[in-house]
Chains A and B, each alone.
Chain A
């Protein structure tokens, strides 16, 4: 299983764009990059997933360089409700494949 490295914590003011970068140097060819958000006492919630280049949905964008050894989650104009822990996961294709959580990034949005 590919290991991921993220900053332990980040602070941001409301309304700013937040970029959280994750390193996954030993990512395999069949691996996907998935980001989750977790609030206290809740299960992780899926945010976005990608394989290469850029993926955008209604809540975030995911940037993946050509070598795929890192990825950046971009949250546009964060609000206080975006305060949470964000996890970057690398997982093989196939739902039966287990995933390992890294430390995650604790994002604190400041008024």
Chain B
């Protein structure tokens, strides 16, 4: 079945560092991927929609210059947290699905998430 892979699964870095998270669709092409953030004991919050070959669409309140999204191929979207600070520490999750033509009713498949800890 459809699989979405995230890398790394866990990263710890110093304040001010930029961190890149990769999201790959392993056995299908995804023109659209989504990025979420989840704080402890809270639900997932949609951050942005990643569109292959075009600019990402950000949700209200999400700083596009802080969270850079690149979707350069049909199987890879990256989220870069620029100049990360402790308040950016969170669980970041991506999702994708086939979503095209006869597969438009397929559900979203989620990666296993990336735990980001900024010291």
Interface, chain A (partner B; CB < 8 A): 32, 34, 36, 41-46, 49, 87, 91, 93-104
Contacts and interface: CB of A to CB of B under 8 A. Distances in A.
A42 B103 contact: no
A25 B10 CA distance: 38
A50 B82 CA distance: 39
A90 B6 CA distance: 24
A95 B43 contact: no
Contacts of B93: 43-44
Given A43-B93, A95-B30, A95-B98, A102 B43 contact: yes
Nearest to A47: B107
B30 A45 contact: no
Contact of A95 (B4, B36, B100): B100
Contact of B32 (A42, A49, A95, A102): A95
Contacts, number: 67
A5 to B, nearest CB: 13
A49 B113 contact: no
Contact of A42 (B46, B97, B109, B113): B113
A42 B112 contact: yes
Interface string B88-103: 0001010111111001
Interface string B27-55: 00011101010000001111001000000
Given A42-B112, A96-B31, A101 B97 contact: no
Contacts of A98: 34, 46, 49
Contact of B105 (A32, A102, A103): A32
Contacts of B18: none
A34 B99 contact: no
A95 B111 contact: no
